[in-house]
A and B are shown apart, each in its own frame.
Chain A
């Protein structure tokens, strides 16, 4: 009998799926790493585990402690699953306008949700969590945007898995959130082959939820700055909500039920495929479609779905 003794052992080692039938260039293969196969349902299980284990190792975190983190969803969900398995209390600061499924997932794993105003977006959640961390120093503040364990999880896990399964990779395309995936995987792949190009895909936040009163409220994750993200990336491109939804539907048409940011990343991969003569593009699909059913992304009129994206955080 073969079995695993902890849910945590199921994190990582996700499959690479050939989705070249959707490639706009017959000389370019596109392979998608399906991070939705992680037990918490997203790529963020990897960094959640890495940050918690790192805090345990350094003595910052021990049994009975309370963890605090800002998250628009997936990091919170990963932390909630692991906190339950390891016996920690978890508080997540989350904007109020995320999909209902994200909140429901967090509650199912027993996390406490502290809501931040929707109009302030993800930047607002970060600010609120920082303030709370100062007021309550007994909380263990993992802070994914600045925690070196975040990119390290991808440098030691996701990157080597991709190179093991597809050493012929020429382009790596992934979404830019905390920048952990791009920094970790990008640095690893370039260390193996400096010719590999790293493309960042940025889904623009809804214009109602960019969370800014002035440009000085802007936010760049410290891990992006500290790891010279600007030098590592070869290209950074935005994908509109409409393109993201269109591509999420194309993916469903070949049987792949992926989250909305995966649609954005696939749109970016298609752009990349059109721009090059030949190559092998590896993309990261951060999660599956389950948490976005309530957005109507697959079922409703596309104009309505795109309009709703102006005031919702889909990514």
Chain B
């Protein structure tokens, strides 16, 4: 009986948390479309989330593309199928590694930053101050962050991640593995399909939504002082990463399941 009670409590607690996050998400999305709008705040968030994440996203995918090329070359050599390298690199990067790695990196950088910033604003009463200044915190703080992430993830970060990831494979293949530059590019372009790019950008938008939602939700609901901010930041990153990996599977199934 005690064991069942424990399971029951865990399930109820999980459902409560899911319900709270769901309501938070609905409120956030609703406020993206309802005035007043804060374009300055949106622009500031787009710069912070998109532009300032570019170096780390670019570096990570460059080296991942190169490492992927080495692995595929070594593996395909066992079947004398080295010529498939450009195709597998571009599909692997665009469909899977580009958006997923980019999502996980941005979750670490942006979700943590949002949770810490909003959490600090909560414990120092800055969010209460917004309300007393006739400003809805959802419209001023949450909506611009979510919209900025959903825009910048597909239209800047993942496009760049995919391109640089493929470039990493190309540089490694042409400089070290003896591939002809023109043939490599032709294979890459020939085998890349529109649906691959669409899947990549859809994943990016979905990941962007969860990254910002988790960062905002945990930050906005921070309790206590410095310790509370720390807990919120950790929870934001962990839950964003879980949601990225979960939604990655679902979107992949939606696009590519036969």
Q: Do A and B come from one complex?
A: no
Q: Which residues of B contact A (CB under 8 A)?
A: none
